[in-house]
Amino acid sequence: MIRGSVSIVGAGPGDPELLTVKAVRRIQTADVILYDRLVNEEILGCGKPEALRIYCGKAPGRHSMPQEAIEKLMIKYAAAGNQVVRLKGGDPYVFGRGGEEALAVAAAGIAYEVIPGITSAIGAAASAGIPLTHRGLAASFAIVTGSRCHDHASPVHWEGLVHSVDTLIIYMGVSTLPEIREQLLKYGKNPATPAALIENGTTVRERTVTGTLGNIDKLAAAMKISNPAIIIIGESVTVRDQLLSMEKAARSQIG
């Protein structure tokens, strides 16, 4: 009888204080922690000193190990009776391949659970002062990946997104930002649509650059924005400027 189990845990967008209580409890009792590249090191410190920590990070074009190898390790350690935590940045089911890992573990007959995390789109946007929905400006949003821009077999359906969604949040799109911009303009998105780039959202290294769809790619290049970063395109980006103006006015009154 297999006594071990797997917890597929979302570590949130970067700030360790945004980790859920349930996630902390699982990390504290884990025997084995398999963690991704964007997991804050402070979160790893929640684990037992004797817990085995295995890096499974993936950067664009550079994977420390294949996905299949990660799944085999999860199964191997759980089958040996260990409490395994698969620790993933953001939310496991939002571009985290958590579904694939759950299927692999379930197929092996091992008990598992999925613990949600705050996904980067929501966490980084809120930290930067950008609501994804806002009365009078945006009633819908979509999260897509920019890494499929050159995937002709499984392309992003930009035309549908342009005409049906108010706010677009794009993961893994910094390197393909010129192509994303071109596609959105091609299908009728207004070049004056407000846009933002949030780098290292919710962390002490957070940087936010705002502009428009027409110039955001040039701003990204000029500011040397790099991963991890998300792109937000939509009218609700303007709320950030309103908040910053109000904060500036409040500081001037105090001063």
Active site residues: 36, 58, 172
- Report yes or no: 180 and 148 within 8 Å, Cβ to Cβ: no
* pLDDT number for residue 254: 78
pLDDT of residue 192 exceeding 90, the answer is yes
pLDDT tens digits for range 198-241: 999 999 999 999 999 999 999 999 999 999 999 999 999 999 99
What is the average pLDDT score of the chain?
A: 94
Question: What is the average pLDDT across 103-116?
Answer: 97
Q: What is the DSSP letter of 90?
A: B
pLDDT of residue 248 exceeding 60, the answer is yes
108, part of any domain: yes
Return the minimum-mean-pLDDT range out of 27-36, 58-67, 126-135, 141-150.
Answer: 58-67
- Report yes or no: 226 and 115 within 8 Å, Cβ to Cβ: no
**Spatial CB neighbours of 74, under 8 Å, sequence gap ≥ 6:** 6, 34, 84, 86, 101, 104, 105
Same-domain pairing of 21 and 97: yes
End-of-domain residue from the set 115, 135, 166? 115
Same-domain pairing of 69 and 140: no
pLDDT of residue 1 exceeding 60, the answer is no
Same-domain pairing of 104 and 171: no
* pLDDT number for residue 58: 72
Q: Which amino acid is at 41?
A: E
Same-domain pairing of 91 and 189: no
The number of C-alpha atoms within 13 Å of 226 and in the hemisphere containing its C-beta is: 4
Same-domain pairing of 156 and 42: no
- pLDDT above 70 as % of the chain: 94
* pLDDT number for residue 153: 59
Three-class SS state of 194 = strand
Q: What is the DSSP letter of 134?
A: B
200, part of any domain: yes
Structural domain of 148: 120-242
Domain at 178, CATH number: 3.30.950.10
Same-domain pairing of 12 and 106: yes
255, part of any domain: no
At 93, list the tokens: 């089911």
pLDDT tens digits for range 71-96: 999 999 999 999 999 999 999 999 99
Strands 111-115 and 141-145: unpaired
Measured CA to CA, the distance from residue 67 to residue 50 in angstroms comes to 25
95, part of any domain: yes
Same-domain pairing of 221 and 164: yes
Same-domain pairing of 41 and 12: yes
Same-domain pairing of 36 and 111: yes
Q: Provide the pLDDT confidence category of residue 147 given band limits of 50, 70 and 90.
A: confident
Same-domain pairing of 70 and 140: no
End-of-domain residue from the set 60, 93, 115? 115
Provide Rg for the chain, Cα atoms. Answer: 20
pLDDT tens digits for range 9-28: 999 999 999 999 999 999 99
* pLDDT number for residue 155: 83
Measured CA to CA, the distance from residue 176 to residue 146 in angstroms comes to 7
* pLDDT number for residue 3: 80
Measured CA to CA, the distance from residue 68 to residue 51 in angstroms comes to 22
Q: Centre a 10 Å sphere on the Cβ of residue 245 and count the other Cβ atoms it contains.
A: 10
Measured CA to CA, the distance from residue 170 to residue 229 in angstroms comes to 9
Question: What is the average pLDDT across 180-206?
Answer: 97
Question: What is the average pLDDT across 141-163?
Answer: 83
pLDDT of residue 132 exceeding 80, the answer is yes
Question: How many separate domains does the chain show?
Answer: 2
Same-domain pairing of 75 and 144: no
Return the sign of the alpha-carbon dihedral for residues 115, 103, 60, 47.
Answer: positive
250, part of any domain: no
Same-domain pairing of 186 and 201: yes
